[in-house]
Structure 1
Amino acid sequence: MEACMARKLPKPSAIADLASPEIRERGLAYHQDGAVSGLVARGDTITAEVAGSEIDPYRVVLRIEDGRIAQTSCTCPYEWGGACKHVIAALLTLIEAPQALDERPPLADLLAPLDRDALVDLIQRRATSDPDLIDWIAMELTTAPHAASADGTIDPQPIADRARNLLAGHGRRANYWAGYRADGDEAELRALVEKAVPFLEAGDGRNALRILEAVAEPLVEDWLDYGYEDDETSYLLFEDLGRMMAEAVLMGDLDPKARVALRDTLAGWEARISDYGPESFAVAIQALETGWDDPALKAVLDGGPGPWPPEGADFADRILTEVRLRVLDASGQDEAYLNLARAAGAQARVAGKLARLGRIAEAVAHAEATFTSPAEALDLAQVLKDAGHGKEALAVGEAGLGLGQDEAENLELGHPNRSVVPLARWLRDEARGALARRAARTAFEATFAKADFDAAKAVAGKAWPSDRDVLLARLSEAERAVDRVAIFLDEGMIDAAVAAAKNSFGTHSSELLRLAEAAHASHPDWVIALAEARATAIMDQGQAGQYEEAATWLRCALQAYDAADRFDDWTRRIEGLIETHKRKYKLRPLLEDLRHGL
């Protein structure tokens, strides 16, 4: 318990950044329904089980570093961006019920007392029942920084073996109705691809290519065998492979023969999968064909006029430009980076690079002259703060608030990067006084989320009464607000909460129940109609596991009948329900307990 008390947990407002309001609402429902169990902490890693639509619970993994949500994952199939409802549920349970967290020793502490022989014996015993462990160890040792052979190359075979083993589950029959589906571990495949990252960061394009080719070949073969045209995760994995290969090519000193051979290999793969899947390797092929030799590109890198890529460039050209910027940045070619970023219109990159070079005044001036979106301002503000220039960071952030558009318009135009919300939340947490209040109001007026309302209250201080009136007025005018009922209810605005509930179909059952309990005296007729409808739906469907919830709703109805001085009506109603459901042995005692009132 002491360890739990000492652990720094995320703030509830941090959850608002992880998922859409709809997903957060579903996650809240799972949390309130007690779907989360088995919260275990080992160091910064917390695991939990969340009951879902499958027989077995989903497994959630959270990485919490100094109170910050560093990473989340879940075994459910959700892939629509952001965290899933199971992750949200686990986080809410962790934050609201930290006493449920079981603190256990981190793995490193468990292994520390073992000597070499004991550790080897432990691994070998596990490997007898888990053959994949051997392949994993071989792959990890192969891709370790010290693993290169005498000639400086790594052996790609263990990487290819690992990829094939991960893909071996593809095509297994899930069940008769589901047909065939991909069940290779996408997360582990991505982790395998990312083994190339340290080599890219070190400028070792040759070994990065060995890793990426070793993963790509079995992935292409698997795609051709099973054709997952609707598998968005595999599409993204192919795209990342192609971009990382392009980066490795541009930093690697491949001789002409090796360049042609690799180009032919990638072109062959591209030709084979292009009719069925993504055009994954076009960027890498273009990097192999052009390198850094284009005279117009050389002129731009030397400070010549843009634009780059030239007029009429296709999507691959634009992606390749981003890759070139990464290579120039990693290799320390600062002026060439700035020249190419200016020619590409990548204004946030220009300003960020200037800030990292210590040219703060130039960075701020460039932002003032060129930035058009809050996302650009947030990127630079974070760089400035990390570099110790907090005053300039806040000034850039404040200017960025004025670049925001109406949230609904942003979504309609398909420009989520223009959303002001991330910048407003960052500025709310970093600034003080009037600027923090302005940012908090901006965040809430874009989301109408309860977490943002609560955060606005926290930063407003003595100014909260006036800020509260403004925010509640905006909430009342909002066309859509998932948390409207909850906010009105928490603020004691029962009439407004009831009116909102009548016009909303997205309010969760737990919030409606809370409202019904608060409104039974002032709005008895509405509470009676709502409570009886909710209870009847459960009872008529014979949902035995939810009979307690049905009884809770009926207890609300009883309170409303009593407040309206209609106890005789209640007596007739409850007797009728007992007669209707007399054969439901789990429900009947719950109904009989309500016979005689409160």
Structure 2
Amino acid sequence: MIPSLSEATIRHHTIAQSFERGQGYYRAGSVHSLIQRGDRLLARVEGSEATDYQINVYFDQGGITRATCTCPYDYEGWCKHIVAVLLTCLNQPDRIEHRPALATLLASLNREQLETIVQNIANEQPEWMDAVEVQIALLTQSKTQKSQKAPRRTTVDPKPIERQVKRIINRYVEQWNDEPALDEIREIIQKADKFLEQGDGNNALIILGAIVRAYVQDWMNLDGSSGESGAFFEELDDALTEAILSAELTTSEFQQWQKELKNWQKEVVDYGVDSFEMSLTALQQGWEYPPLQEVLQGNITELGAWEDEAPDFADDLAWIRLKILERQGRHQEYLYLAEAEGQTDRYLQMLTKLGRSQEAIALAEQEMSTAGEAWTLAKTLRQQGELKSALNIAMQGLSLGGSNHYGLAVWASELAEGIDLEIAFQTRLKAFQLQPSLPDYLKLKELAGHRWDSLQPELLDTLRQSSSSLHAKAKAAIFLEEGLIEDAIATVTQLSSYESDIIHPVMDAAIAHRPDWVIENARPRAESIINAAQAQYYHHALNWLRRVRAAYLQLGQQEEWHRHRTALMQTHTRKHKLVAMLQQRDLT
């Protein structure tokens, strides 16, 4: 069984729509083959595709640490398939088939038997050999080999990539929406990332150069509503910087890249875009920059890895260098650079990864200054199996400055459920006080036990007294959960119609109790949309009118609704699209 699993936990990690759809999948019996191996659950869910979706849920003593699904869902929280699996685990635990963990299965086998298994699998699935070769290379590669730069490979042809980027931009020119275009270009950037992971910075740089070359030329055609086209240059600058510092360039290649970067700078500066400064600096400094070399040898001064005052992008550049050092296994140099550049959270994280957890914890008590730093370290400690230490660090982080306190409080509460229920309760209460939500309210009810009878009125009074519009969604949902219709109505009455996702559920609940309020509140909202004569928004007006109709029917005033609908059609008789919509069956 997954520790500390509850419906409130599931709700917290997903949006309402995904939870409802996941419930539907669970009730329909779409979850198949629930298999638990140690601290991992594998499941299959029947979906809209021919093949089942594969779900993996990882957990430890504190609860779920990660959940993945093979579906394309790319929004907030867990997808509906993960929800369905977890609801099945929660409500039908006897369906879980417990099997030995892989480590247990392999423990009793000798080398000959292991070789036979690997060979048999490779014969049945030839593509599996690629993964085997990668793992062998990683296991046998010495520290010296890791520090060497990768040999040059077959050179990627940049021309097809340039054409691909141009086609993407041209495809979205007329749509006034640059985000889909940028997402497609990001997919090409991921190809460069794969070369970087393999230690081939040169080909990664060629791919990125092709992308930037085409983008600089045509990006102004992406006159999208999000305004992200100009900001995208920062992402390109980051990617170029990592590739430059991972590549092995000849003198002529260095000169060519320097020339191109400067030309790109000139091209975009007239449009208010200040970019490529970091990648130019990385190109000029490389790894031989004297102040950097001093730091990598452990000679650290107040200036860190800089000759003079550090530029604005110093933290970003340091992080990119740290990623490369970790990839190359240069851990001591990583620690020196992280210390010199004030990257405390990453310094502590690396100490923990190197098995120096106690050293990291002792240092954290002196050096941590933000909740974010504490959370980073706590996550790493948890990954290393040091759950109590992770919880202690998280608790310290809640008293520090910075941001992320809500997320850290929830994370600490979920972890504490398997360690200390009192801490789980207190940290969840802290989370609710910072940012009220229905899932946290339900979780508090679960954790409070006998204290709930006295705690509940306090929480509800706090919500009533809160005037923050940021809490409106949580307040309305909690009041509806408790059947406090009048409180829910008071919460949403003055909200803008743009907040319909909050108002609609309250109206739906209020139709049986306060139909008069529904009519008084929904009619003006519908009429303001209709009077604006913007046909593309008429469907919003109809959503309000459907609730008006339901309220009139609740009052037994069907004729009054008919008169109102007829008056609308006569007043707006020239709005043919609206009239046709008002004639729909559910509005008659």
TM-score by length of 2: 0.66
Counterpart CA distance in 1 for 2:433 and 2:193 is 40
Aligned residue number for residue 159 of structure 2: 160
Counterpart residue type for residue 420 of structure 1: H
Q: 2:294 aligns with which of 274, 282, 299?
A: 299
- Displacement of 1:382 after TM fit? 0.9
Check whether the contact 2:162–2:213 (CA below 8 A) recurs between aligned residues.
no
Counterpart CA distance in 2 for 1:267 and 1:544 is 51
- Displacement of 1:313 after TM fit? 2.0
Counterpart CA distance in 2 for 1:472 and 1:435 is 22
Once the two structures are superposed, what CA deviation does each residue of 1:264-302 show, in whole Å capped at 9, x if it has no partner? 232222223332363432222212212233333222223
Task: From the superposition, tell whether residues 515 and 296 of structure 1 become closer, same or farther in structure 2 (CA, over 3 Å).
Answer: same
Counterpart CA distance in 1 for 2:565 and 2:177 is 48
SS at match of 1:358: coil
1:366 matches 2:360? no
Once the two structures are superposed, what CA deviation does each residue of 1:502-557 show, in whole Å capped at 9, x if it has no partner? 3444463422223313533xxx7545534665687799999699769745534434
1:262 matches 2:257? yes
1:378 matches 2:375? yes
Task: From the superposition, tell whether residues 579 and 312 of structure 1 become closer, same or farther in structure 2 (CA, over 3 Å).
Answer: closer
Check whether the contact 2:172–2:222 (CA below 8 A) recurs between aligned residues.
no
Aligned residue number for residue 413 of structure 2: 428
Aligned residue number for residue 499 of structure 1: 490
Check whether the contact 2:178–2:229 (CA below 8 A) recurs between aligned residues.
no
Task: From the superposition, tell whether residues 262 and 435 of structure 1 become closer, same or farther in structure 2 (CA, over 3 Å).
Answer: same
Counterpart CA distance in 2 for 1:277 and 1:538 is 38
The number of aligned residues is 471
- Displacement of 1:387 after TM fit? 0.7
Aligned residue number for residue 465 of structure 1: 453
Aligned residue number for residue 281 of structure 1: 276
Check whether the contact 1:167–1:184 (CA below 8 A) recurs between aligned residues.
no
Once the two structures are superposed, what CA deviation does each residue of 1:546-573 show, in whole Å capped at 9, x if it has no partner? 76974553443454x5xxxxx7xx5884
Check whether the contact 2:177–2:226 (CA below 8 A) recurs between aligned residues.
no
Task: From the superposition, tell whether residues 237 and 154 of structure 1 become closer, same or farther in structure 2 (CA, over 3 Å).
Answer: farther
Counterpart CA distance in 1 for 2:184 and 2:153 is 23
1:487 matches 2:478? yes
SS at match of 1:203: coil
1:515 matches 2:509? yes
Aligned Cα root-mean-square deviation (Å): 4.7
Counterpart residue type for residue 254 of structure 1: L
Counterpart CA distance in 2 for 1:223 and 1:194 is 19
Counterpart CA distance in 2 for 1:189 and 1:529 is 49
1:246 matches 2:241? yes
Once the two structures are superposed, what CA deviation does each residue of 1:444-477 show, in whole Å capped at 9, x if it has no partner? 2222222332333344344433443343233223
Counterpart CA distance in 2 for 1:213 and 1:273 is 15
Counterpart residue type for residue 368 of structure 1: E
Counterpart residue type for residue 249 of structure 2: L
Once the two structures are superposed, what CA deviation does each residue of 1:235-291 show, in whole Å capped at 9, x if it has no partner? 454333332332233333334343233222322222233323634322222122122
- Displacement of 1:307 after TM fit? 3.7
Aligned residue number for residue 324 of structure 2: 327
Check whether the contact 1:193–1:212 (CA below 8 A) recurs between aligned residues.
yes
Check whether the contact 2:258–2:283 (CA below 8 A) recurs between aligned residues.
yes
Aligned residue number for residue 341 of structure 1: 338
Aligned residue number for residue 206 of structure 1: 202
Counterpart CA distance in 2 for 1:88 and 1:320 is 29
- Displacement of 1:232 after TM fit? 4.7
Check whether the contact 1:527–1:557 (CA below 8 A) recurs between aligned residues.
no
TM-score by length of 1: 0.65
- Displacement of 1:352 after TM fit? 0.4
- Displacement of 1:360 after TM fit? 0.8
Aligned residue number for residue 312 of structure 1: 309
Counterpart CA distance in 1 for 2:297 and 2:563 is 87
* Unpaired segments ≥5 residues, structure 1: 1-7, 17-23, 32-39, 50-61, 75-82, 100-114, 116-144, 406-417, 562-566, 593-598
Task: From the superposition, tell whether residues 546 and 212 of structure 1 become closer, same or farther in structure 2 (CA, over 3 Å).
Answer: closer
Instruction: Using CA pairs under 8 Å that are at least 6 residues apart, name the structure with larger relative contact order, 1 or 2.
Output: 2
SS at match of 1:388: coil
Task: From the superposition, tell whether residues 431 and 315 of structure 1 become closer, same or farther in structure 2 (CA, over 3 Å).
Answer: same
Counterpart CA distance in 2 for 1:238 and 1:271 is 13
Q: 1:450 aligns with which of 438, 442, 451?
A: 438
Counterpart residue type for residue 199 of structure 1: F
Counterpart CA distance in 2 for 1:166 and 1:399 is 47
- Displacement of 1:326 after TM fit? 1.8
Equivalent positions of 1:18-57 (< 5 A) are none
Check whether the contact 1:441–1:471 (CA below 8 A) recurs between aligned residues.
no
Once the two structures are superposed, what CA deviation does each residue of 1:210-253 show, in whole Å capped at 9, x if it has no partner? 332233322333337x4759875444543333323322333333
Equivalent positions of 1:12-91 (< 5 A) are 12-15=11-14, 65-66=56-57, 68=67, 87=75
Once the two structures are superposed, what CA deviation does each residue of 1:299-340 show, in whole Å capped at 9, x if it has no partner? 222332334254632223333222222222222222221122
Counterpart CA distance in 1 for 2:450 and 2:359 is 38
1:357 matches 2:354? yes
Check whether the contact 1:488–1:497 (CA below 8 A) recurs between aligned residues.
yes
* Unpaired segments ≥5 residues, structure 2: 1-6, 22-29, 33-42, 58-65, 88-123, 125-136, 138-149, 571-578
Check whether the contact 2:45–2:81 (CA below 8 A) recurs between aligned residues.
no
Counterpart CA distance in 1 for 2:438 and 2:231 is 33
Aligned residue number for residue 110 of structure 1: none
- Displacement of 1:385 after TM fit? 0.6
Task: From the superposition, tell whether residues 173 and 518 of structure 1 become closer, same or farther in structure 2 (CA, over 3 Å).
Answer: closer
Counterpart CA distance in 1 for 2:71 and 2:551 is 38
Equivalent positions of 1:525-540 (< 5 A) are 526=517, 529-530=520-521
Counterpart residue type for residue 428 of structure 2: A
Aligned residue number for residue 193 of structure 1: 189
Aligned residue number for residue 133 of structure 1: none
Check whether the contact 2:516–2:551 (CA below 8 A) recurs between aligned residues.
no
Task: From the superposition, tell whether residues 184 and 41 of structure 1 become closer, same or farther in structure 2 (CA, over 3 Å).
Answer: farther
1:217 matches 2:213? yes
Task: From the superposition, tell whether residues 358 and 553 of structure 1 become closer, same or farther in structure 2 (CA, over 3 Å).
Answer: same
Task: From the superposition, tell whether residues 426 and 194 of structure 1 become closer, same or farther in structure 2 (CA, over 3 Å).
Answer: same
- Displacement of 1:168 after TM fit? 1.6
Structure 1 window deviating more from structure 2 (264-273 vs 501-510): it is 501-510
Equivalent positions of 1:109-148 (< 5 A) are none
SS at match of 1:519: coil
Structure 1 window deviating more from structure 2 (379-388 vs 328-337): it is 328-337
Counterpart CA distance in 2 for 1:151 and 1:535 is 67
Q: 1:389 aligns with which of 386, 392, 404?
A: 386
Counterpart CA distance in 2 for 1:555 and 1:449 is 29
Counterpart CA distance in 2 for 1:355 and 1:544 is 55
Counterpart residue type for residue 353 of structure 1: M
Counterpart CA distance in 1 for 2:587 and 2:253 is 80
Counterpart CA distance in 2 for 1:590 and 1:231 is 36
Once the two structures are superposed, what CA deviation does each residue of 1:32-63 show, in whole Å capped at 9, x if it has no partner? xxxxxxxx9999899989xxxxxxxxxxxx99
Counterpart residue type for residue 213 of structure 1: G
Structure 1 window deviating more from structure 2 (395-404 vs 180-189): it is 180-189
